[in-house]
Amino acid sequence: MMLCWDDYPMTNVLKIGGMSCQNCARHVREALQGVPGVDYAEVDLDSGVARVKGNGVALGAMVEAVAGAGYTAAPQQAGNPAKQSFLLSWKFNVIFSLGVAAPLMAMEYLFHPAMHGWFGWFSFALVLPVQALCGWRFYKGAWEQLLVRQSNMDTLVSLGSTTAFALSFYGLLMPGRVHQLYFAEAAMILGLISLGHYMEARAGERAAGALEQLMRLAPQKALRIGPHGAEESVPLDALRHGDRVILSPGDQAPADGVILDGESAVDESMLTGESAPVEKSAGGKIYTGTVNRDGRLIVKVTGLGEETALSRIIEVVRRAQGSRASIQRIGDKVSNIFVPIVVLIAIGAALAYGLHGGWETGIINAAAILIVACPCAMGLATPAAIMAGTNAAAKRGILVRDGESLEKCGTITAVLFDKTGTLSEGKPRVEKFIALDGGESEARALARALAMPSKHPYSLAVAASLAEVAPAEITGWREERGQGVSAQWRGAPLFMGSINALRERNIPLAALPEMQGTVLGLVAGGKLIAGLALADPLKPRAADVVKRLRDSGLRLYLVSGDAATAVKPLAAAAGIAPENVFAEVKPEEKAGIVQRLQSERQRVAFVGDGINDAPALAQADLGIAVTQASDIAREAADILLLKADIEAIPQALGICRATLRTIKQNLFWAFFYNAAAIPLAATGILPPVACAAAMAVSDLFVIGNSLRLLL
């Protein structure tokens, strides 16, 4: 289960200043990801901390990039992020501002005190600290953006709240010039927008729940066997490579390792989503966080810390959450030009009313426009959905590389399966061994000698079926990719491989009887001396998976290097049409099959697991690697299935499609909301307080819609 996607050696932890919303966190993340050498960056709004991974990344370059985006950055000791003080938290903003605004508004609307008398000065005295303490985060963010000639939602909130407060103070000093004072409304604006941020942060914490669950899987201590055989409980950081640890029933594995002694069923559901425990014995692999169910195991530690499969999975999820889909550029472009346009609209509304004698109404409506038009929902639309979608996938043992991989799923029209280990079980067995012209014992000894050094599934099957046979003495053994295995025996060439490989070598096949399944031939000195028939049964749920994919409107194809006599019966059992089967295909030709389908305007997802599948996985519009895939195949894939069954494929495609659909819904809502709300604010239908509430509701709608993916 080793993963290659995120094998990065260096982590930098930075303290970020000036962020007020997830949109700000996105800007910081994108600025850091633009630094040469950065592989990916993640930014936590709640703690104000950024984690950056990459090779040879200069600290100064990162700080400069963040400053260029309008924020501050400074190094912080990794692993000990400082939490914000309560006075600087959104929770304090909510309690203080609403605690002041709500009583003032209740007194104002219930008792109708004289606005320009003692009540006006009383309101001013209470709201001034609110503007200073609760508004500070917005003012600071707006000022830092102004310094780099940019603007964001802090700009709009600061202008809107300050406009209401300044107009009220002017009216307090010049009685009769302003009919209504808006001190309570100014405080309420800050309170409601802070409430939106607070709820957004809490919702974000829930969206990150799967990642947190993964991080909590590793136990804090391990039972280690000392040099003299004594058992001792030690903290995880005391473990070293080669240490022996004991796993009793119910224990969680503290590290990756190999079983030295014992047998047990191991629950790997936390990593793979598979509910059924996996039987393990000596030589089997153990992964951090998995649970030993019923036997006592002695395990040799082979992976610690960031080397473990669990850590690499966590990094994959983090990387996906910090990524972006190309559809996000729509929201980015709109957000970048939106603020200046909104400011111009607000100025225009104020002038339109003011020139007709309604300066007070014009200024208040302008403040409402500034507040209601905050583009935060647009910035949240994509990252919120990606975070929820990747977490939902991770809970089910599906790792998604990034946001673009999620997006690709929405365009897939065809799925091309590799056969061995994907649709089939990948555990072939020899059904028949036929020796030609006698000499069966010698042929069996030669076949076993050729098969033993190879790790190919067919070689393993041959070696297992001839386990009782003493191997012949051969020399010069080598494996010929996609062909077979060869060696020298008594000075003559020896070869065992596929029928196609035999034809390419001009080996006469007339003596070979007709056999079902995958047929291998054994050749000695240029003469065919034996034939072997192998069967690789269909996975139990493969036919159901194919049906579900076909019912969803996808075209299904099967490709294999095996003979048509083996591939077509399996395809028929799975429910794939004969005309969609590609048999006797060389490994290097699989990518060409993908290209052929793409030339027919198909958007192809390729599902494979072997080293020879890597080119096809990379060529496909979407590459899906299954659980036992090689490291190279994993590196080329967009989606990695940790489950042992391909039943996860419809799940993976379904989650990705649902995530893309949610992104589109979020963007539509954000655009529609702003388009509808600005005219209402400009005409006075929505007062500033209602606009503040509407803006908070808009953000929460986007978050809530995204969280549905976790259900």
Per-residue pLDDT at 272: 57
Query: What is d(CA 623, CA 412) in angstroms, rounded to the nearest whole number?
Result: 11
For Cα atoms 607, 609, 610, give the angle at the middle one, nearest 5 degrees.
Answer: 130
Residue 479: closest CA among 458, 510, 505: 458
Backbone angles phi, psi at 182, to 5 degrees: -120, 35
Range in 395-399, 438-442, 446-450, 456-460 the model is least confident about: 395-399
Full-model pTM:
0.62
For the segment 57-85, the average pLDDT, to the nearest whole number, is 74
Q: How confident is the model at residue 446 (pLDDT cuts 50, 70, 90)?
A: very high
- Reported as a pLDDT band with limits 50, 70 and 90, residue 361 is confident
DSSP bridge partners of 107: none
H/E element, 65: helix 59-68
Six token digits for residue 311: 């850590």
Report the SS3 class of residue 52. Answer: strand
Beta strands across the sheet bearing 291-292? 278-280, 264-267, 291-292
Residue 628 has pLDDT above 60, yes or no: no
Going across the sheet that includes 555-559, the strands are 398-400, 639-641, 622-625, 604-608, 414-418, 555-559, 581-582
- Per-residue pLDDT band at 6 (split at 50, 70, 90): very low
Query: pLDDT of 494-544, one tens digit each?
Result: 999 988 889 888 888 888 888 877 889 999 988 999 999 988 888 888 899
Question: What's the pLDDT score for residue 27?
Answer: 79
436 vs 407, more confident: 436
Among 88, 83, 74, smallest CA distance to 20 is for 88
**pLDDT of 77 higher than 60:** no
Helix (H, G, I), strand (E, B) or coil at 381: helix
- Cα gap 711→707, rounded to integer Å: 7
pLDDT at residue 634, rounded to an integer: 55
pLDDT exceeds cutoff 70 at 8: no
Closest CA to 652 of 396, 303, 280, 384: 396
Predicted pLDDT at 7: 44
pLDDT tens track for 662-688: 988 888 887 787 778 889 988 888 888
How many whole angstroms separate alpha carbon 333 and alpha carbon 341? 13
Confidence bin at 328 (pLDDT 50/70/90): low
Identify whether the C-beta of residue 399 lies closer than 8 Å to the C-beta of residue 313: yes
Structure tokens belonging to residue 228: 């003299």
296-305, 369-378, 455-464: range with lowest mean pLDDT = 369-378
- Does the pLDDT value for residue 393 go beyond 80? yes
Catalytic residues: 418
8 Å CB contact between 151 and 346: no
Residue 473 pLDDT grade (very low, low, confident, very high; cuts 50, 70, 90): very high
pLDDT above 50: residue 79: no
- Which uninterrupted H or E stretch holds 47? none
Max mean pLDDT among 124-128, 347-351, 482-486, 538-542 falls in 124-128
Residue-level pLDDT at 278 = 78
Q: Is the pLDDT of residue 349 over 70?
A: yes
Taking the C-alpha atoms of residue 204 and residue 206, their distance in angstroms, rounded to an integer, is 5
Predicted confidence (pLDDT) at residue 322 exceeds the cutoff of 60: no
> Encoding tokens for residue 26?
């996105």
3-state secondary structure of 2: coil
pLDDT in tens, 164-199: 888 888 888 888 777 778 888 888 878 877 876 776
State the Cα–Cα distance between residues 436 and 50, nearest whole angstrom: 69
Of residues 6 and 411, which shows the higher confidence score?
A: 411
Distance, in Å, from the CA atom of 379 to the CA atom of 42, rounded to the nearest integer, reads: 16
Separation CA 127–CA 123 (nearest Å)? 6
